[in-house]
Amino acid sequence: MPRILDRNAFGIWSFIAKRAFKVEFERPKSTDQASKAIRETLTEHEVGLYMHIPFCTGTCLFCPYTRFPISKHKDEKLIRKYVDALLSEIKSYSLITKGLEFKVTDIHAGGGTPSLLNGKFWKAISDYLAEYLRAEAKIAIEANPEDLKDEAYVFDLLDSGIGEVSLGVQSFAPKTLKSLGRRHSSEDCFRSIENLRNAGCKYINIDLMYMVPGQSLQEWVEDLEIASEQDVDEITCYPTLITPYCIGYELLKSGRIEQPDNKTLKSMIYAAEDLLSSKGFQPIEIYGYSRKEGWKYVTVNLEMEGPLLGLGCAAEGFTGGYEYHNTSFVQEYIRALRDGELPIAGARLVNSLGRAIRYAVCRIFICRGLDKLEFKQKFGRDFHDLVGKTGFGRMLGLLKLFGYLKEDERKIELTKRGLFTAHKICWAFVLNVPCRIAEEYRKAPWPSKVTVP
């Protein structure tokens, strides 16, 4: 059997993820119903905002995200229409949240490729965010090196409301970049980092990928070495996860290409942990390492914990009590907003226990530790009172027995021994829940019901 890091690859953890996180999304009956649910469940004072930019100039072999290949110049009209729709959506949220007291503290654009939008588009978006949602924070974007190798373009972005950048380096090795189907070179990455610093970008994260078909442990270590020598604030390391809808799936399934084995997966995880820690990068998530104290690039946390307003085609939002998914069809997204409707294709209510478990999974298995006092302040109940008697609570007890977690008065923390298990839990969840949601919503623009996994 060829090795594929798909949703069944993590043994017991794949099995548990499929059962424990079974969820059902329903299409809201009307825009009014969805607006009311968002308004009533948005009760916290600090809120994050995510915008999805679903365009790329090509398709990487194992990409699991909702995005459509376009030509930056030929499809400028489509980009303009898309940004207009996004601006209308920002305005809609201003109406929905009228009178509510909250502050937008984090603004993040992911994709796809947000760096495909030039400074002019980002200026319009950032002006709208300030005017309609009082959101003054700088925008963090995901960027591709082929866009940022041009210095003037980078200066323009940073003059237009962009403050933080997560650069999709993936690897410095030409062979690995080719295996992934990337459209940039390692020189483009070095130039992009230099351009970002010259333009005054304060926070730079770079993404790296391992478990790439054909990649050896030695090649991964070399990528980590080169990454650690760059002038960047954070390094995130992702294993190459495989969904059945990525274009490289058949190549893997037929055995024409193969991912490294399970033992190498473990070695690659601990190589990142040891090497990056020894170079002054502090572990902040199981896959993220930062050398700027008190700062990290906003990624999945808000999606898991909420509250996060999700805007754009295929965006996910979670107010804390209401989780929703926008339509994954670009033309339908644009049409809905032109017709004055919210583009929400499916949604579900999440109760307080459900949210508490999501929060705990995120804190313990992604962020490496849960502060019990913070938990009590957020949920109004003692952690063990609320979660202890659930299946999840019992599982934590077992992991403590194995030495994968440790607990004192204040915290439940992941141990170094537990790191591999935390990765298995995290990736089994990602492949069985968010990736499955994305897969289902790729099939039709407005399905009446979606059940995952």
Ligand X SMILES: C[S@@+](CC[C@H](N)C(=O)[O-])C[C@H]1O[C@@H](n2cnc3c(N)ncnc32)[C@H](O)[C@@H]1O
Q: What ranges in 97-169 are assigned the alpha helix state H?
A: 119-133, 145-148, 151-158
Nearer to ligand SF4, 234 or 305 (CB): 234
Give yes or no for residue 235 binding ligand X (CB under 6 A). no
- The helix/strand count (H/E) of the chain reads as 19, 19
CB-based contact 17:391 (threshold 8 Å): no
Q: Is 111 in the site for ligand X (CB under 6 A)?
A: yes
The smaller minimum CB distance to ligand X, of residues 28 and 64, is found at 64
Question: In whole angstroms, how close is the CB of 100 to ligand X at the nearest point?
Answer: 29
CB of 150 to ligand SF4, least distance (A): 17
* 249 in contact with ligand X (CB under 6 A): no
| Least separation in angstroms between CB 62 and ligand SF4 | 8
For ligand X, the closer of residues 182 and 355 by Cβ is: 182
- Tell me the two tokens of residue 65: 């995200």
User: For tokens 């390692």, what's the residue?
Assistant: 186
Give the shortest CB-393-to-ligand X separation in angstroms. Answer: 29
Residue in 157, 254, 261 with CA at minimum distance from that of residue 199: 157
Measure the CA–CA gap between 383 and 128, rounded to whole angstroms.
Answer: 40
Q: What, of ligand SF4, ligand X, none, does residue 59 touch, CB below 5 to 8 Å by kind?
A: ligand SF4
Contact region with ligand X (CB under 6 A), list: 60-68, 221-229, 290-298, 440-448: 60-68
Contact residues: ligand SF4, CB under 6 A: 56, 59-60, 63, 65, 67, 111-113, 144, 168
Per CB under 6 A, 223 contacts ligand X? no
Residue 14 or 113 having the CB closest to ligand SF4: 113
Out of 160, 170, 179, 326, the residue judged to bind ligand X by CB under 6 A: 170
Q: Does 213 bind ligand X (CB under 6 A)?
A: no
Burial classification of residue 405, based on how many CB atoms lie within 10 Å of its CB (0-12 exposed, 13-18 middle, 19 or more buried): buried
- Can you tell me which of 10, 65, 122, 420 binds ligand X, judged by CB under 6 A? 65
Question: 283 CB contacts (<8 Å, ≥6 apart)?
Answer: 273, 276, 277, 289, 368
Query: Which residue is closest to ligand X by CB?
Result: 168
- Asked whether 262 and 427 are in contact (CB, 8 A), the reply is no
Helix (H) / strand (E) element for 203: namely strand 203-210
Q: Using the rule CB under 6 A, is 113 a contact of ligand X?
A: yes
Question: Least distance from C-beta 198 to ligand X, angstroms?
Answer: 21
Query: Of residues 51, 157, 209, 426, which one binds ligand X by CB under 6 A?
Result: 209
Residue 238's binding partner out of ligand SF4, ligand X, none, with CB under 5 to 8 Å set by partner kind: ligand X
Task: Rule CB under 6 A: say whether 63 interacts with ligand X.
Answer: yes
Look at residue 207 and give the partner it binds from ligand SF4, ligand X, none, a contact being a CB closer than 5 to 8 Å depending on partner kind: ligand X
Would you call 176 helix, strand, or coil by DSSP?
helix
Torsion over CA: 265, 268, 274, 277 (sign): negative
CB of 53 to ligand SF4, least distance (A): 9
Which whole-number Å values give the CA distances from 398 to 55, 249, 359, 406, 443, in the listed order? 44, 35, 19, 11, 39
Among 72, 67, 77, 129, smallest CA distance to 104 is for: 129
Instruction: Answer for the pair 199, 161: CB distance below 8 angstroms, yes or no.
Output: no
Residue 168 C-beta: closest distance to ligand SF4, Å: 6
- The listed partner (ligand X, ligand SF4, none) that binds 289, CB under 5 to 8 Å by sort, is none
Among the residue ranges 234-242, 255-263, 305-313, 355-363, the one whose residues contact ligand X (CB under 6 A): 234-242
> For residues 323 and 340, what is the distance between their CA atoms, to the nearest angstrom?
21
In angstroms, the CA 117 to CA 157 distance is: 9
DSSP 8-class letter at 417 = T
Under rule CB under 6 A, residue 241 binds ligand X: yes
**Running DSSP on this structure, what letter comes out for residue 87?**
H
Which one of 6-14, 110-118, 344-352, 386-394 is the stretch in contact with ligand X (CB under 6 A)? 110-118
Task: Tell me which residues in 120-159 interact with ligand X (CB under 6 A).
Answer: 142, 144
C-beta closer to ligand X: residue 211 or 336:
211
Closest by Cα among 202, 58, 69, 55 to 121: 55
Q: How far is the C-alpha of 270 from the C-alpha of 284, rounded, in Å? A: 15
Residue 170 interacts with which of ligand SF4, ligand X, none, CB < 5 to 8 Å by class: ligand X
Interface stretch with ligand X, choices 188-196, 237-245, 348-356, 383-391 (CB under 6 A): 237-245
Sign of dihedral through CA atoms 130, 319, 308, 61? Answer: negative
User: In this complex, which beta carbon is closest to ligand SF4, that of residue 144 or of residue 299?
Assistant: 144
Task: Kindly list the residues in this chain that would bind ligand X in the complex (CB under 6 A).
Answer: 62-65, 110-111, 113, 142, 144, 168, 170, 207, 209, 238, 240-241
